[in-house]
Amino acid sequence: MLDVKGLHSFYGTIEALHGVEIEVNDREIVALIGSNGAGKTTLLNSISGHVTKTGSIHFQGKDITKLAPHKISRSSLLQVPEGHHVFPGLTVEQNLLVGTTAEKGIRLRAGDNRELLDMVYEIFPRLLERRKQLAWSLSGGEQQMLAIGRALMGKPKLLMLDEPSMGLAPLIIDELFEKIVEINKNGTPVLLVEQNAHLALSVSERAYIMERGNITLSGKSADLLHDSRVTEAYLGKQKKEQEN
Ligand SMILES: Nc1ncnc2c1ncn2[C@@H]1O[C@H](COP(=O)(O)OP(=O)(O)OP(=O)(O)O)[C@@H](O)[C@H]1O
């Protein structure tokens, strides 16, 4: 499905990723874990075509290494960036309809997209309740659901989520992650960037641990959940954050 080999990514002359290799298979949730600055966002942005790189990225057997970002998203490899990016002055439903434009040209009429809207509303009933509300008036959790819902409107063949739990209260995070599992069970593979190692490992099949631009550990999430190297790295990060 997604196969990244020997990936080196650059900001100007600075190399941020040093030969990263990951793969995501059909139907999997794969987690990418690491502390601040490890290179997780850079990896997602490299896959979606926003960062200069060398190496190779294949998606569904096609070489997408050199494709422009809009062409990559047209092949239904869709990314939900960090932070709850919504169009604040549009309603919930208008935000969702914008999600269909990447693939098919502009079509902002609900009627043309009824099935897709119904599918998103079934996963996120809260968005249905709030469909006429302006997006700025939603809570952080609802905005994150809307950002994910908008990506679902593009019928992703792979969904890349960057820190969906960022800034959300624990109960909302639990609800959001149940939805992510549901989306995956409906057939969409997910590459999930998440600093909360425990949460990420609990919902994923496999995981990669990133440190300073390298993958340092990978394996089945169930095994990594009990691996002292993971626990220690995660607790180390928490400790550092508490000190700051
Ligand atoms: N636009 C940029 N220009 C220059 N350097 C950057 C840029 N974005 C990220 N970096 C650097 O690349 C490295 C990886 O950062 P990245 O944001 O990918 O890490 P991350 O694991 O996603 O961390 P976070 O959890 O903070 O988002 C860091 O050293 C960071 O300072």
Q: Which atom from ligand 1 is nearest to the alpha carbon of 34?
A: 21
Beta strands in 26-165 (DSSP E): 29-33, 52-59, 62-63, 77-80, 158-162
Q: What is the largest CA-CA distance in the chain?
A: 53
- To test the pocket of ligand 1, the residue of 7, 40, 43 to mutate (highest count of ligand atoms within 8 Å of its CB) is 40
d(CA 136, CA 132): 12
Q: Which atom from ligand 1 is nearest to the alpha carbon of 38?
A: 21
For the entire predicted model, the pTM comes to 0.90
- pLDDT at site 197: 87
> Domains of the chain: which residue ranges?
26-38+78-194+202-208+222-243
Instruction: Please name the residues in contact with 77: beta carbons below 8 A apart, sequence gap of 6 or more.
Output: 2, 47, 48, 59, 64, 156, 157, 158, 160
Distance 184 CA to ligand 1 centre (A): 27
d(CA 171, CA 40): 25
Please give the chain's pLDDT, 244 residues, in tens: 999 999 999 999 999 999 999 999 999 999 999 988 999 999 999 999 999 999 999 999 999 999 999 999 888 999 999 887 899 999 999 999 987 754 455 556 666 678 889 999 999 999 999 999 999 999 999 999 999 999 999 999 999 999 999 989 888 999 999 999 999 999 999 999 998 888 899 999 999 999 999 999 999 999 998 888 887 776 444 444 544 4
- Output 11-18 pairs: Cβ under 8 A, ≥24 positions apart: 11/51, 11/52, 15/213, 16/42, 16/51, 16/213, 17/42, 17/43, 17/46, 17/53, 17/213, 17/214, 18/213, 18/214
- pLDDT at site 233: 73
Q: Is the CB of 36 under 6 A from ligand 1?
A: yes
Strands 2-11 and 14-24: antiparallel
* C-alpha dist (Å) from residue 10 to 32, 34, 83, 164: 19, 19, 23, 25
Q: Which atom from ligand 1 is nearest to the alpha carbon of 195?
A: 25
* Beta carbons of 176 and 146 less than 8 angstroms apart: no
Q: Is the CB of 212 under 6 A from ligand 1?
A: no
Q: 26-38+78-194+202-208+222-243: which CATH architecture?
A: 3-Layer(aba) Sandwich (3.40)
Distance 50 CA to ligand 1 centre (A): 13
